[in-house]
Amino acid sequence: MGADGGVMSRTTNKGAAFLQALNVQPEEKRVTASVSEAPAPKAPPVASRNGLKHIGGYFDRAEVEKFAVLRARLGLDNSQLIKLAIDELYRKHEAKRVLGISDA
C-alpha cells in the first residue's frame, strides 16, 4: 500500500510524530534534570596545600618497604614521615657543623 493512505502512510505519520516528540521531550527533560538534579556543592578540602612544595623521589623496592614499615609503625602519612626524616637529618648535620666535625 502507498499513496492511497494505507499502511505506509500510517507508518510515516507515526514516525513523524515520534521524531517530533523526540525533539520536544529531551529539551524538557534537560531543563527539569538540570534544575532538580543540580550537583551538590563540593566540600572544601580539609588540608590546604597552598604555599607548599611537593618533593618526591624514585626508590627501589627495599627503600619503599622501609618507608612503608616506618609509616605504619609511626602512624604517619607520607608528608609527615618525610618531614621527620628531613628534620632529623638536618639536625644531625647542623650539629656536626657546629661541632666542626667533617663528613670526609
For the chain, what are the domain ranges? 1-36, 61-99
Q: What pLDDT is attached to residue 27?
A: 46
The DSSP code sequence of 8-67 is HHHHHHHHHHHHHHHHHHHHHHHHHHHHHTPPPPPPPPSS--TT---------HHHHHHH
Q: How confident is the model at residue 102 (pLDDT cuts 50, 70, 90)?
A: confident
d(CA 85, CA 65): 16
pLDDT > 70? residue 85: yes
Query: Would you say residue 84 has pLDDT above 70?
Result: yes
Cell 499502511 identifies what position? 7
Lowest mean pLDDT among 3-17, 18-32, 49-63, 88-102: 18-32
What secondary structure letter does DSSP report for 87? H
The pLDDT confidence band at residue 13, using thresholds 50, 70 and 90, is: confident
| Class of residue 81 by CB neighbours under 10 A (exposed 0-12, middle 13-18, buried 19+) | middle
* pLDDT bracket for residue 104 (50, 70, 90): low
The confidence score (pLDDT) of residue 1 equals 53
Could you give the CA distance from residue 102 to residue 96 in angstroms, rounded to a whole number?
7
